[in-house]
Every structure is written in structure tokens, then in C-alpha cells.
């Protein structure tokens, strides 16, 4: 019996269609990246509701400016749009102290820091990982915006230095120096749980301001 396999358009085809004004193609592109974009915004802003607003605004802007995308990583291009909106939100809330700049925890984790977890953790290691995850979220929210965005891209989302530099439109050297400062600040702020951090946090070299 002959079998038919449905073939979905690849990303390049979807981008070409979206640039021609096909909203459905753009929506299909967003489905490929929506979890990453929301998690990036949530880590950068520290609040799920404001993160969702920032992502929606970023996607509207991205669709309107699709013709400015001339190749490269579409994921990084979208990430830059999201981070720009996050920065706008950060500046807005900074002018209005009544809006908290740190996450409000109501028993649900903003993001599962799975990169820190053992694949088959014992109860004790699970408790330690949960404790570290909560502490990381609070510390991440306390960092300056420019350090927070670099840390989120490199250490959580796995961007290379070059991808991060392209996304944030800064030199690679600036990425490295901001990342070093962010890691040092995280380690210092975590205090008694800092020994649970990955080795990259244990062996940092402070970078002069």
C-alpha cells in the first residue's frame, strides 16, 4: 500500500512567503519559535504577563519589518526584536516604581532550569535543584538589563558568543565581558547555594568594570 507523508515547508520557504505578506506563513514560523521567545522574555523581564505583552509587540513589529531580514539566523533576528521590546518595558517600569522589577513567585516556576538538573536526580538533589532554580530566578531579575540579556542567551538558551553578539548588535568582546560580570554577580548573590552552580560559574575570572 502506497504511503503518503505530509511534508511541511522548511523555514526558508516560510520566510519567503511571510516576506511576501503571507500572514499564515508568518504564524507557522512563530509556532517554531514561540516557546523560546516567551522563555527569553520571561527571563529577561521577570514577569510572565509583561513577557507575553513584550513578545506580542515584538512579533507585530517583526512582521511589519520582515523585509529588513536579509538572511542569517531567523531565530536570532526574532530574539533581537523580543529583547528590544523587553528593554522598552524595562525602561517603562523603571520610571514607575510601583511596578515590581523582580519576579513575583506564586508557587509556579517561571522557567524550568533543566540545564542544571541531573537526568535521574535523587530526592535530595531534586530539592537542591529546585532551591537553586528559585534562587537563580531571583538573582537573574536583579542583574542590570544588559547583563541579564547576555546571560539568558548564552547560559540558558545556548547561544554562541557570535550569535549573542549578532542578536544584541554588540561586539563579541562585549558579550564576553558582560557575561563574566553577570556570572560573577550571580555567584556572589547566590551565597550558600553557589556551590550547586555549573562549573563555568565556579571558575570565572572577574573582568574590570
Provide the CATH number for the domain around residue 97.
1.10.1740.10
What's the confidence (pLDDT) of residue 96? 43
Rounded Cα distance between 178 and 181, Å, is 5
What's the confidence (pLDDT) of residue 67? 87
Other CB atoms within 10 A of residue 113 CB: 20
Residue that finishes a domain, picked among 35, 68, 101: 101
Q: Are residues 109 and 209 in the same domain?
A: yes
* Helices 161-168 and 74-94: angle between axes, nearest 10 degrees: 60
What's the confidence (pLDDT) of residue 186? 81
Spatial contact of 155 and 162, defined as CB atoms under 8 Å apart: no
- In the block, which residue shows the cell 511534508? 7
CA 40 to chain CA centroid, nearest Å? 2
Each of the 209 residues of the chain gets a pLDDT tens digit; together they read 455 444 556 888 999 999 988 999 999 999 999 999 999 998 888 788 889 999 999 999 999 999 888 888 899 999 999 999 988 887 777 654 433 333 333 333 334 344 344 444 454 454 445 555 666 677 777 888 889 899 989 988 889 999 999 899 899 999 999 999 988 888 787 765 555 555 555 544 444 43
Total number of domains in the chain: 2
Rounded Cα distance between 153 and 167, Å, is 9
Structural domain contains residue 164: yes
Residue that finishes a domain, picked among 101, 118, 151: 101
Whole-prediction pTM: 0.60
Amino acid at each position: 500500500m502506497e504511503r503518503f507523508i505530509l511534508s511541511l515547508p522548511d523555514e526558508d520557504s516560510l520566510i519567503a512567503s511571510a516576506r511576501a505578506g503571507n500572514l499564515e506563513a508568518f504564524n507557522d514560523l512563530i509556532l517554531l519559535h514561540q516557546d523560546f521567545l516567551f522563555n527569553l522574555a520571561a527571563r529577561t523581564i521577570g514577569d510572565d504577563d509583561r513577557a507575553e505583552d513584550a513578545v506580542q509587540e515584538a512579533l507585530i513589529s517583526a512582521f511589519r519589518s520582515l523585509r529588513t531580514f536579509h538572511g542569517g539566523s531567523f531565530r536570532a533576528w526574532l530574539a533581537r526584536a523580543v529583547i528590544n521590546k523587553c528593554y522598552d518595558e524595562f525602561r517603562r517600569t523603571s520610571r514607575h516604581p510601583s511596578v515590581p522589577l523582580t519576579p513575583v513567585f506564586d508557587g509556579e516556576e517561571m522557567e524550568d532550569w533543566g540545564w542544571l538538573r541531573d537526568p535521574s536526580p535523587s530526592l535530595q538533589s531534586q530539592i537542591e535543584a529546585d532551591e537553586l532554580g528559585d534562587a537563580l530566578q531571583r538573582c537573574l531579575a536583579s542583574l542590570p538589563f544588559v547583563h541579564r540579556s547576555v546571560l539568558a542567551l548564552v547560559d540558558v538558551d545556548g547561544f554562541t558568543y557570535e550569535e549573542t553578539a549578532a542578536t544584541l548588535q554588540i561586539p563579541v568582546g562585549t558579550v564576553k565581558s558582560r557575561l563574566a560580570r553577570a556570572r560573577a554577580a550571580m555567584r556572589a548573590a547566590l551565597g550558600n547555594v553557589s556551590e550547586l552552580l555549573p562549573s563555568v560559574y565556579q571558575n570565572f575570572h572577574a573582568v574590570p568594570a
